[in-house]
């Protein structure tokens, strides 16, 4: 089968991945599930992986097939698999977990001590077939097509995970801010809108992203290229600041907004990454705001997101590309030329 694989780290996105002919994965364990991939979202994390940003954090055997936002149809199952059978449409949680370690027992599947992460530590879904397990697939409800839902496997669940934490602390009348309305942000915004009564301000450098934000429920939008984010938010929140900030960029300039835009006792959620946090410790004492880390989301949270999708609360803005266009997609994303999410169709 064909697979888009990373052979060596590079900053040149024009030929980061190569299309290789590799063996089709087969069932070799009783809980294995083989999925024919119909849609695989291209995440900015794929660009980060190609650049080698994950090398010091996780084991990455190269060459490796990338792709962690996968959905498709089950074509083969191991002898003990009950949840799905051949022909079932599924979305694939990106992490294959053991089910028996303590974090797994607690439902904290992202902290599994024996996990493999599709397209990050093991072969992913930019390929015709994906090797995963019964513990990682979620059968799709009637009327939801794999190709339409694929980006929720990572962009969606990550945005949902952060939004769910934020919503727990958002009361009517409070303000929330979404920084970066791209693949993750356009979903996070809709999750906030569906699950809270907070007033939402979207911040993005691209007018097309701010148009999307308005369509998906933002009450206010700010473009830092020609507006001052701090003073605009001061006006919008009447000086109180935002109770919850979801930062889908995580650059030096966006983390630096925190002391000025976060309300007393509020949270600045770090979801995007690549920059640094340089605030003096006193800034977190005065006003008692917190920086909160977010890594993808639990298996059970993906089930909750699928429920939101089924009841039409969360839409996806996507464009589709062939497998042999992966490097074009990487480059387009690098240059801000993708709105919403690009989906590879192997």
User: Which residues are identified as catalytic?
Assistant: 45, 48
Radius of gyration of the chain (CA): 20
Interacting positions 39-98 with Zn ion (CB under 5 A): 97-98
Residue pair 327/17 in contact by the 8 Å Cβ criterion: yes
Please pick, from the candidates 29, 141, 173, 274, the single residue that binds ligand NAD as defined by CB under 6 A. Answer: 274
Site for ligand NAD contains 24 (CB under 6 A): no
Residue 190 has which token pair?
Answer: 């809709």
Measure the CA–CA gap between 33 and 149, rounded to whole angstroms.
19
Instruction: Report 158-177 residues binding ligand NAD (CB under 6 A).
Output: 158
Q: Pattern 302-341, binding to ligand NAD, x per CB under 6 A?
A: -------------------------------x--x-----
CB of 321 to ligand NAD, least distance (A): 14
Q: According to the binding rule CB under 6 A, does residue 49 interact with ligand NAD?
A: no
CB-wise, 64 or 162, nearer to ligand NAD?
162
Stretch of 31-39, 135-143, 178-186, 313-321 lying at the interface with ligand NAD (CB under 6 A) = 178-186
Query: What does 316 interact with, of ligand NAD, Zn ion, none (CB < 5 to 8 A by kind)?
Result: none
| 116 part of the interface to Zn ion, by CB under 5 A | no
Measured in whole angstroms, the distance separating CA 223 from the mean position of its chain's CA atoms is 23
Subset of residues 177 to 196 that bind Zn ion, contact rule: CB under 5 A: none
Identify the bridge partners of residue 62 per DSSP, sorted by sequence position: none
Helix (H, G, I), strand (E, B) or coil at 298: coil
Distance set, CA 327 to CA 128, 151, 315, 324, 334 (Å)? 17, 18, 26, 8, 10
- Calpha distance 22→25 (Å, rounded): 9
* Residue 124 binding: pick among Zn ion, ligand NAD, none (C-beta 5-8 Å cut-off by kind): none
C-alpha 128: how far from chain center = 22
- Of the candidate residues 6, 71, 74, 104, the single one contacting Zn ion (CB under 5 A): 104
Name the segment binding Zn ion (CB under 5 A); options: 101-109, 189-197, 213-221, 321-329.
Answer: 101-109
| Kind plus residue range of the DSSP H or E element containing 162 | helix 155-167
CA distances (Å), origin 30, targets 175, 209, 302: 49, 45, 24
CB of 50 to ligand NAD, least distance (A): 11
Residue whose C-beta lies closest to ligand NAD = 182
**Residue 84 or 233: which CB sits closer to ligand NAD?**
233
Number of other CB atoms surrounding residue 4 within 10 Å: 29
Q: Round to the nearest angstrom and report the end-to-end CA distance of the chain.
A: 10
- Taking CB under 6 A as the rule, does residue 43 contact ligand NAD? yes
Structure tokens at 294: 């977010």
Residues lying near ligand NAD in the complex (CB under 6 A): 43-45, 48, 154-155, 158, 179-185, 203-206, 209, 224, 248-251, 253-254, 271-274, 294-296, 333, 336
């Amino acid at each position: 089968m064909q697979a888009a694989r990373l052979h060596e780290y590079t900053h040149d996105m024009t030929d980061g991945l190569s299309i290789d002919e590799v063996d089709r994965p087969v069932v070799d364990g009783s809980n294995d599930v083989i999925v024919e991939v119909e849609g695989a979202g291209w995440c900015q994390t794929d660009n980060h992986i190609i650049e080698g940003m994950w090398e010091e954090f996780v084991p990455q055997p190269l060459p490796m097939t990338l792709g962690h936002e996968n959905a498709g149809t089950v074509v083969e199952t191991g002898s003990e698999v009950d949840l799905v059978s051949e022909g079932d449409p599924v979305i694939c949680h990106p992490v294959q977990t053991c089910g028996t370690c303590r974090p797994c027992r607690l439902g904290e599947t992202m902290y599994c001590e024996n996990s493999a992460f599709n397209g990050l530590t093991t072969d992913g879904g930019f390929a015709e077939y994906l090797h995963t397990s019964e513990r990682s697939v979620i059968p799709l409800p009637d009327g939801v097509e794999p190709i339409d839902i694929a980006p929720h496997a990572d962009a969606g669940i990550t945005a949902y995970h952060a939004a769910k934490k934020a919503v727990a602390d958002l009361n009517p009348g409070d303000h929330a801010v979404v920084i970066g309305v791209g693949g993750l942000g356009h979903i996070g915004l809709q999750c906030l809108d569906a699950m809270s009564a907070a007033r939402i301000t979207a911040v993005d450098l691209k007018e097309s992203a701010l148009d999307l934000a308005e369509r998906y429920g933002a009450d206010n939008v700010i473009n830092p290229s020609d507006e001052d984010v701090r003073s605009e938010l001061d006006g919008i929140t009447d000086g109180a600041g935002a109770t919850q900030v979801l930062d889908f960029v995580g650059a030096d300039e966006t983390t630096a907004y925190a002391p000025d835009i976060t309300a007393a006792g509020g949270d600045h959620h770090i979801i995007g990454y690549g920059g640094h946090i340089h605030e003096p410790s006193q800034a977190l004492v005065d006003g008692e705001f917190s920086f909160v880390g977010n890594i993808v989301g639990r298996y059970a949270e993906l089930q909750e997101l699928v429920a939101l999708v089924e009841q039409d609360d969360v839409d996806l803005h996507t464009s589709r590309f062939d497998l042999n266009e992966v490097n074009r997609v990487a480059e387009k994303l690098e240059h801000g030329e993708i709105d919403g999410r690009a989906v590879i169709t192997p």
